[in-house]
Structure 1
Amino acid sequence: MTQPTPIRRDGHRPRLLALLTTALNLAAHAVPVLPLRAGKLPFGNCAACRYTACGGRPNMKTAGPCQCLQPCHGWAAATTDPAVLQSPAWTSAWQQAQAVAYHPGGAGLTVVDLDNADAITWARESLPATRTVPTTRGEHWIYRGAMGSVNGVREGVDLKSTMAYARWLGPGTGTMTHLPDAVRALAVKKPSTARPAPLVITAPTPVGGGECRHRTPSYLDRGIAMAEQRITEARSAVHTTVYRTFLAVLSAHGRCGCLTDTHVARLFTAAQAKGESPRHCTDAWTNARTALGM
């Protein structure tokens, strides 16, 4: 097994030491952890498996923890192995990291992420009390028990458990209670009668002069239509499907300058119709661009 990289305790790397100490303490309590870079984002996928699901399986429902030597697959990179956490590759990531994240589902937990005051008020009126952790915009309510992760179950409310990560913000206060049916019921999507308005973002800037190598607009139109269909037909792992679809579109069209705000808006509209929030659409798009080095 790879030998851990010695951590100097001379004050030159206080942030590295603080983050790694937190990570090791959590891992010792069977909480899988991973580093987060700026923007509360995980580190990008490594070159060896950039376009495959964690564990090499195309179906993310059966994907296992990342087998790479780097913390490259978001939630699936989370580990409780202290030798991995202190390995050279991970130490390099910790040196760039801004925070520690953990995989709630891997620890048998579910986090109800409340993003604003209205969401907190709703939770206090609708959900059983449990351990709470203050966040920059709201609160995390942590329950004992794992379930599927779902974004945007209502305004300002996300569920983070399996196949998701949450930022570690401290142990919180209050007694952790068992995952209630009221939280599980939030994951049951109700049919939508109207498509939400898309969030328009700036398309990638052209690379290499901006001339489209595909020569014909019809190629791009077919690609966007297929991407919309892929998102719309997703029956599970919607967040993962959205990210991988964005990744595929950017891989094919992101560097030639043919993508416009209209094309991106179509993708965001399809994702939001499946329950993704505008913030998570933006995060997925940003993560895909980062993975491709854009």
Structure 2
Amino acid sequence: MTPDPRPTLLNAAIDLAARGVPVLPLSAGKRPVGNCRSCSGPTPGLCGGRPNMKTAGPCACPAPCHGWAAATTDPTVLTSPEWARAWREAGAVAYHPGGADLTVVDLDNAAAVTWARATLPPTRTIATTRGEHWIYRAAMTSHTAVRPGVDIKSTLAYARWLGPGTGTMTDLPSAVRALAAKEETTRARTGAGVVSSTPPATWDRAVATGCRHTERYVRTGLDRGLAMVRARTEQGAGSQAFGVAQFIAKQHTTCPGPCGLDTLAQAIIDTAVSVGVPRPYATRAVTNGLGKAVAAP
């Protein structure tokens, strides 16, 4: 009989916590457990109504809640009755790199690993299913799709614990910080604003003959996504564009197609550019977002 791995996961979490690494359980699907009842509804919960914990501050809920913000180094919390159900259903252990003053460069494929070996200073590395995690000493802001197949996980993010890895951990290099700096947006010019060099992308049935959704459904989802990108006038518009593209693409994975995703993608790119994201970066982020959704099981 195959031994139950769950006590092993809890023991690994306790060991990491003892070394100052904040940890949390992941579900069998390798995602954080769902929010508690107090925080899953429309009214503010114990954490002040922050369902996605996009603002700083630890989770105050007694059960693991709000993803990365639930990570803790307190063994009494990890072994508490409130966390027991999460450990019974856990499929993996995650940790909050920023909480341990660490940064994870997540290399999602062989090409990204090759790039890192030629570009970044050596550090501790951990093999993943499709690539590698490179761990550096010092925290920074987290960013998605800073280049093809490369994410940065540190503050306000979690990474899956896959073992201690090999090699000597080194300080976070300026080359990694520079990747994030390229993503940061700048304010659009006052007055006329930023004018796109391409005409606005229009989605309709002419480009989506195989889509199973109504035009109203698609347009509503797109408008909400574009509003989220426009709201990122200071920073994060590129990462937001990535997330919007991934979310929208997932809605069409069961359609026979074509669904005109290239037209929707162009609308997201143009919106990101309008708030200051360089067009090459916006294009790369949206393309990667679409690819992530297609590759997801």
Scaled by the length of structure 2, the TM-score of the pair is 0.69
Contact 2:63 2:83 in 1 (8 A): yes
Structure 1 SS opposite 2:16: helix
| C-alpha deviation, 1:229, in angstroms | 1.9
Residue 268 of structure 2: aligned partner: 270
Moved more, 60-69 or 77-86: 60-69
Residues 178, 76 of structure 1: alpha-carbon distance in 2 compared, 3 angstrom cutoff: same
| C-alpha deviation, 1:226, in angstroms | 3.7
Contact 1:54 1:60 in 2 (8 A): no
| C-alpha deviation, 1:238, in angstroms | 5.4
Residue 100 of structure 1: aligned partner: 93
Contact 2:39 2:47 in 1 (8 A): no
Residue 121 of structure 1: aligned partner: 114
Match for 1:178 among 163, 171, 180?
Answer: 171
Residues 243, 80 of structure 1: alpha-carbon distance in 2 compared, 3 angstrom cutoff: farther
Match for 2:225 among 224, 227, 239?
Answer: 227
Q: Percent identity?
A: 51
Scaled by the length of structure 1, the TM-score of the pair is 0.69
Contact 1:27 1:80 in 2 (8 A): yes
Residues 61, 44 of structure 1: alpha-carbon distance in 2 compared, 3 angstrom cutoff: closer
AA at the equivalent of 2:177: R
Residues 239, 280 of structure 1: alpha-carbon distance in 2 compared, 3 angstrom cutoff: farther
Residues 105, 236 of structure 1: alpha-carbon distance in 2 compared, 3 angstrom cutoff: same
Residue 135 of structure 1: aligned partner: 128
Residues 62, 73 of structure 1: alpha-carbon distance in 2 compared, 3 angstrom cutoff: closer
Structure 2 SS opposite 1:20: helix
Q: Distance in 2 between matches of 1:188 and 1:13?
A: 46
Residue 42 of structure 1: aligned partner: 32
Contact 1:109 1:146 in 2 (8 A): yes
Counting only pairs closer than 5 Å after superposition, residues 53-68 of structure 1 correspond to structure 2 as: 55-56=47-48, 62-68=55-61
- Equivalent residues, number: 250
Residues 240, 90 of structure 1: alpha-carbon distance in 2 compared, 3 angstrom cutoff: farther
Q: Distance in 2 between matches of 1:105 and 1:15?
A: 27
Structure 2 SS opposite 1:189: helix
| C-alpha deviation, 1:270, in angstroms | 2.8
Q: Distance in 2 between matches of 1:168 and 1:268?
A: 36
AA at the equivalent of 1:16: R
Question: Structure 2 regions of 5+ residues with no counterpart?
Answer: 186-195, 201-207, 249-258, 273-281
| C-alpha deviation, 1:193, in angstroms | 8.4
Counting only pairs closer than 5 Å after superposition, residues 1-294 of structure 1 correspond to structure 2 as: 14-50=4-40, 55-56=47-48, 62-189=55-182, 221=219, 224-234=222-232, 235-236=234-235, 266=264, 270=268, 273=282, 275=285, 277-278=288-289, 282=293
| C-alpha deviation, 1:188, in angstroms | 1.7
Q: Distance in 1 between matches of 2:229 and 2:107?
A: 26
Q: Distance in 1 between matches of 2:91 and 2:266?
A: 28
| C-alpha deviation, 1:13, in angstroms | 7.3
Q: Aligned Cα RMSD in Å? A: 4.2
